[in-house]
Amino acid sequence: MLDWHKIATEEVLQRLNVSSKTGLETSQAQRRLHSAGKNAISPPPKNWTRKILGWLLGGFGSLLLAASIVCFVAWKPLGNPDPQASNLALAIVLLIVLVLQAVFNAWQDFSASKVMSSIKNLLPTDVLVLRGGVQTKLDAEQLVTGDIVLISLGEKVPADLRMIEVNDLRFDRSILTGESEPISGRVEKTDDNFLETKNIALQGTHCVNGSGVGVVIQTGNNTVFGRIAKLSSHEPTRLTTLQREILHFVFIIAGLATVVAILIVILWAAWLRVAHPSYINISGLLIDIVSVMVAFIPEGLPVAVTLSLAKVAHTLSKHKVLCKSLSIVETLGSVNVLCSDKTGTLTQNRMHVENATVFDYVMNNEKLQSIAEGVEDVPATTSIAQLMGVGMLCNAAAVVPSPTSLSEKQQLDLVGDATDVAVLRFAHRMGAIEALREQWVDIFKQSFNSKTKFMMKLSKLSPTASLETSPIASWDDFSRHDYMMTVKGAPENLLPRCSHVLDPKHGRPVLLTRDAVRRLTAIQEDWAQEGQRVILLARRVVRNHMMSSDLSPGTDEFAEEADALNADLIIVGLLGLMDPLKPTIQHTVSVCRRAERLGDHPTTAASIARNAGIITARNVHSVTDLEKKQHKASNETGADDLPKQSIVITGAQLDSLDQAQMEQLCQYEEIVFARTSPEQKLRIVHEFKARENVVAMTGDGVNDAPSLKAADCGIAMGQGSDVAKEAADMILLDDFAAIVIALEYGRLVFDNLKKTILYLLPAGSFSELMPILLNVLLGLPQMLSNIQMILICVATDVLPALSMCLETPEVGLLERKPRNVKTERLADWRLIFQAYAFLGVLESLCAMSMSFWYLQQKGIRFSNLVLGFGNWPGLDDELLFQAQSVYFFTLIMMQWGNLLSTRGRKLSIFQHTPASNWYVVPAAATSLCLGIFFSYAPWFQNVFQTRGVPVEFFFIPITFAVGLLFFDESRKYCVRRYPSSWIAKLAW
């Protein structure tokens, strides 16, 4: 055993260029490696402290925290000897708002990827190792290169192993490669490809038969499994599109607040402190700066954003769409490149035989049904029986026992690969297969793999079976001692191995000529263009003397002899298999118009893409056209002048493209990628992201995890692997069609957040800022207190803002093109102009006029207040508090008009009525109730210095709200009636 260890390890390390320690040098070196846990897959670093600080100090939080500290300082010590209780109350309120925002942000974002834990759950925890001639059970993470590992039935492979002894060993690699059939283990190398050779057992795969001994050649992150884990977990953390928009908005608000605050400080230092030294002291200056921050910051926005996303996520969950991150919903609404698998996503994964042919005698589905029912007599009855027989023998699907008889059922219950199930179901439809299968014993099987693209079986007649009763045994003078070789696979791979083809008339083989190959190839291409997967069925009788009698079927030598005899085959026929598209796919693709697809055979992939509506161009380009386009582009025209067509390209061709050609490829609107590897999928995602696209990726396997993680929006299918689900941002629990609902709500989130911001800014920002600026610049009393500013932002405006988040989609939402994340911002200059220059100015002027009109009724004229700078005859604190409350209630009432007008971006209130969102009316009523509560309750009047107002100051502002609504309706009418006018260009 120690000789095996040394020889095998040295050979593997030399052949695979493994540079790690072999574990043979000294036991001390080995112990050092053991203690280091070299087989552990490294998780990504976590820094929860930094995350928590980010929640508390990031964005608006940092400004609110600074404002709260300033208020505490302005209260004491700067407020001494007469500290103002209102300053202390303002500081505490700001601190409470900050804590509430931190809690909401933590609830929204406190989630980490569990990809690593899912991958580790797929790996074994302990393993049986041979060290120093003694068998020892160790933790799998302690394995090092050079260890000898014993594998038995049912165990998971703990590391990448080079097999040195096999006993009828078989591995299930489906978790890594997707191949449903187990492969047999070998001692000798069978392929130069590390993933294909049978003498390598890959970490995470299952031993489903036999046992074996292997040498560890790769551990931890160096294994195939580890590299997939590393690709998945080390993808750099990225901001979602919504997070980027919120950050952009924070920069705008913070920048404006900073500029205005600096301006006020400069004016105070250079002018007010000199000209009016008793007007604003240092404590008052600090409070004015805090007031500017409070005025600019829409404190209710974080709560509105979080609850809006939570509501949408809850709605999507009812449609069986699970959002793992709330902010990812809006990202999907911005997606302009969608990468989707074919099988199980676009198609139903229910393969069936659509066409069959014996040589050039083609039978469609209807004719096959007629033949099966005995309605139609055909000259190829014998040939069809052979087609059925080969399909039955060369098959790995199994019949599931059922208490229900076949007479009571329509079809067999079968399990296995979709292709095998379809072929076996076809064989059963053409004739009963149960009795026929029992007559044969499988001796040797070579499973389908991605390189050979065929399956081969050697079978012998059962000792109890009769030559006379078995129709298959009558082929080519078959005897009981002979083997029947049956082969099923891709025509392009099997045709070179064939020498004869069945004559459809009498079922006897005839020589396979070039003309016969051409006719068969033409049928294959015709079927492939219809979206069918074409497989070839072939057979050969292997005489007993051709195989060495002393070889066991489980040995490498037997496998080599069987593979050598896999030639001079007789073509029995072709089958065209169809995996029908899901009924909703065409509508789904029509909504998600720019769709990138990852599939199989280029012709088949193009046909399915055309049927699904992914490809709409008449002429589909290939990689050669791409090269011609590139040559033309470099010599005659620019890339932007080239027409955007459809193109089909394979994974191998993708690897051969340089960056200039890749740039040309990404200009196509409709792209079909065929036969792509996980690395190629990852490259596709990165290439499109690098060109400022928002990319969504669908997947269901372990191999899809890296690309799911890299995409802006990773979408896992509900029936997929746990690793794919953990790597994804969104899971479709039911059907791919649910992505349309997610897309609609993703766009709706962005629209509603724009409406929310537009609702919050006029009263919660501009109209709060104006009293401060007029107080500093014109010496007027501040017509809105700092506490009332906070009440507007976190009380009276919150529920109406949340009702905006519940708006239903406007007409035509899904017909819009995906937004350009670089130019279409959440808060762009049009929205700021609408909020400040239109709505904000109207609300501020109306509120100011009501406040000064109230003071004029009390005998205090506006002319006695302007340029007073603290010298305001007749104005006492009580009258100021009353005037401030008038301003406060006027804003609340005018926000009703803002609420009704902002609900629709271009639609009239008669087209987008409040009945579509019944939350609007009670939310508006509640905002007024909250204002009354804080203004009329005695305790709040004492602490917050609020007051009640005369009844006319409730009703007059309602007319202002109606006027505001009328002006905005007029603006929308001009936008709809004259879409090219300057008013339309200013529309948000």
**337, 356: one domain:** no
CA distance 452 to 489: 9
Alpha helices in 79-188, H assignment, sequence order: 85-109, 115-121, 174-177
Question: What digits encode the pLDDT tens for the residues 383-404?
Answer: 788 888 899 899 888 777 655 5
In whole angstroms, give the CA distance from residue 439 to residue 462: 5
Q: Which of 147, 160, 288, 341 is catalytic?
A: 341
E strand intervals along 316-426: 321-323, 337-341, 352-358, 361-364, 398-399, 414-415
Is the Cβ–Cβ distance between 205 and 175 less than 8 Å?
yes
Instruction: Tell me: do 815 and 927 sit in the same domain.
Output: yes
**Residue of higher predicted confidence among 62 and 328:** 328
Q: Give the domain-ending residue among 200, 234, 268.
A: 234
Q: Are residues 924 and 953 in the same domain?
A: yes
Element of type H or E holding 690: helix 678-690
**854 has pLDDT over 90:** yes
Q: Quick one: 539 and 423 in the same domain?
A: yes
CA angle 760, 765, 767 (to 5 degrees): 105
Question: Is a pLDDT exceeding 60 seen at residue 438?
Answer: yes
Which pLDDT score is estimated for 534?
92
CATH code assigned at 206: 2.70.150.10
Is the torsion defined by CA of 116, 118, 119, 121 positive or negative?
A: positive
Do residues 122 and 723 touch, judged by C-beta distance below 8 A?
yes
Per-residue pLDDT, 410: 53
User: Tokens for 222?
Assistant: 């160096």
Confidence of residue 432 (pLDDT cuts 50, 70, 90): low
Q: pLDDT tens digits for 516-546?
A: 999 999 999 888 888 788 999 999 999 988 8
Tokens at residue 826, please? 């959440």
Count of domains observed in the chain: 4
Range from 327-336, 703-712, 758-767 that averages highest in pLDDT: 758-767
Q: Determine, yes or no, domain membership for 249.
A: no
Domain finish residue from 706, 733, 760? 733
Q: How far apart are CA 371 and CA 391, in angstroms?
A: 17
Select the more confidently predicted residue: 462 or 606: 462
Is residue 361 assigned to a domain? yes
- Let me know if residue 738 belongs to a domain: no
- Highest mean pLDDT range out of 8-12, 43-47, 653-657? 653-657
569 and 700 in a common domain: no
- Shared domain for 62 and 166, answered yes or no, is yes
* pLDDT digits 0-9 by tens, 119-177: 445 445 678 898 877 888 888 888 888 899 988 877 888 889 999 988 878 887 766 76
Min mean pLDDT across 179-183, 721-725, 929-933 is at 179-183
The answer to whether 339 and 255 have CB atoms below 8 angstroms apart is: no
| DSSP codes, 275-315 | H-TTTS-HHHHHHHHHHHHHHH--TTHHHHHHHHHHHHHHH
Neighbours of 502 (CB within 10 A): 27
Residues 6+ away with beta carbon under 8 Å from 88? 71, 72, 75
Mean pLDDT computed over 13-38: 36
Does 82 score more than 90 pLDDT?
A: no
Residue 244 falls inside a structural domain: no
Say if residue 800 is in the same domain as residue 887.
yes
The CATH number covering residue 685 comes to 3.40.50.1000
- CATH at residue 492: 3.40.1110.10
Quick check: 435 pLDDT over 70?
A: yes
Report the C-alpha gap between 761 and 837 in whole angstroms.
11
pLDDT band per the 50, 70, 90 thresholds, residue 724: confident
pLDDT of residue 342 exceeding 60: yes
Higher per-residue confidence, 954 vs 102: 954
Q: What is the pLDDT of residue 52?
A: 36
pLDDT tier, 512 (very low <50, low <70, confident <90, very high otherwise)? very high
Q: Are residues 751 and 844 in the same domain?
A: yes
Question: Residue 606's pLDDT is what?
Answer: 67
Question: Stretch 198-218: mean pLDDT, rounded?
Answer: 86
Task: Report pLDDT for 25.
Answer: 33
Average pLDDT value over all residues in the chain: 79
- Orientation of helix 60-75 relative to helix 48-57, angle to 10°: 60
Asked whether residue 300 is domain-assigned, the answer is no
pLDDT at 901 over 70: yes
Instruction: Among 674, 709, 733, give the residue marking a domain's end.
Output: 733
- Residue 705 corresponds to which tokens in the numbers above? 């995890």
For 715, the domain range is 321-347+582-626+644-733
At residue 944, the 3 state secondary structure works out as helix
Residue 28: the pLDDT is 36
d(CA 42, CA 823): 39
Question: Is residue 635, in this structure, part of any structural domain at all?
Answer: no
Give the per-residue pLDDT at 236.
55
341 is catalytic: yes
Buried-state track 65-88, b at ≥16 Cβ within 10 A, e below 16: bebbebbbbbbeebbeeeebebbb
Are 311 and 333 members of one domain? no
Q: In terms of domains, do 974 and 863 share one?
A: yes
Measure Cα distances from 768 to 96, 758, 969 in Å: 20, 15, 25
Handedness of CA 739, 744, 748, 751 (dihedral sign): positive
| Per-residue pLDDT at 466 | 78
Residue 548 lies in a domain: yes
Q: What pLDDT, on the 0 to 100 scale, is given for residue 234?
A: 54
In a domain, 263, yes or no: no
Query: Is pLDDT of 974 > 90?
Result: yes
For residues 355 and 526, the answer to whether their CB atoms sit within 8 Å is no
Per-residue b or e along 414-452, where b marks 16 or more CB atoms closer than 10 Å to that residue's CB: bebbbbbbbbbbbbbbbeebeebbebbeebbbbbbbeeb
Contact 900, 907 (CB under 8 A): no
Question: Mean pLDDT across the stretch 48-53?
Answer: 38
Q: pLDDT digit string (tens) for 800-809?
A: 988 888 888 8
DSSP line for 499-519: EEEE-TTT--EEE--HHHHHH
Give the pLDDT of residue 143.
87
Specify the higher pLDDT residue, 441 or 154. Answer: 441
- Do 29 and 2 sit in the same domain of this protein? yes
Q: Output the domain CATH number for residue 958.
A: 1.20.1110.10
Question: What average pLDDT does the segment 323-347 reach?
Answer: 75
On the 0-12 / 13-18 / 19+ scale of CB atoms within 10 A, 977 is exposed
Evaluated on CA atoms 591, 594, 596, 600, the torsion sign reads: positive
In this structure, the answer to whether residues 130 and 178 fall within a common structural domain is yes
